[in-house]
Structure formats: C-alpha cells, structure tokens
Amino acid sequence: MANIVKEMIKAGARIVDVRTEDEFSDEAYPGAVNIPVGVLPNRMKELEPKDKPIVVYCASGARSAMAAKMLKASGWKDVVNAGGLSDMPE
C-alpha cells in the first residue's frame, strides 16, 4: 500500500489529514490539508475537482476509512485510505 500511496503523492494527489485540528497541529504529513472527518461532509467542495486523486489518513486508519467511503459516495473516483500517519511514506 505504501508504494501506491507514494506514487499517488508523487503524481500530485491531494493529501487529506482527517484527524482533529489538535492532532494535526501536533504533527502532520508534509503538504497535507486538515479536514477533520466530522466536518468533511460540509467541506468536500474544497477538495474538488472530483477527478483529482486523494490520499486520506488519520491516526490508525479508522477515520480515514470512513472519510474515503464518504468521498467515494459523493463522486470522487480515486480515493485511497493510507491508514495512519505512521503508515504514510517517507
């Protein structure tokens, strides 16, 4: 999975951290935007266009799985749940 995520990021995928603002301010993946999963439905427009690939992550992979499901249900085609921050590529 890490190789897929790494290639997507290299190709320009948007990186979305769906943890809380506090978690994000403590530590985040370089270039990630913070849209907590709880407010994602209200902020999805920020991630358009829907054909741009998205990599989502959180702390363990549970919230990012939920976020990926929401995005796919709203029309995003290329969404990958990278799991937790520690799973993100170097």
Look at the chain and report how many structural domains it folds into.
1
Q: Write the CATH number for 23.
A: 3.40.250.10
Annotated catalytic residue: which of 9, 40, 58, 67? 58
Nearest Cα neighbor of 45 from 76, 21, 11 is 76
pLDDT in tens, the chain (90 residues): 779 999 999 999 999 999 999 999 999 999 999 999 999 999 999 999 999 999 999 999 999 999 999 999 999 999 999 999 999 998
Which residue range forms the structural domain that includes residue 57? 2-87
Catalytic residue status for 4 = no
Burial classification of residue 44, based on how many CB atoms lie within 10 Å of its CB (0-12 exposed, 13-18 middle, 19 or more buried): middle
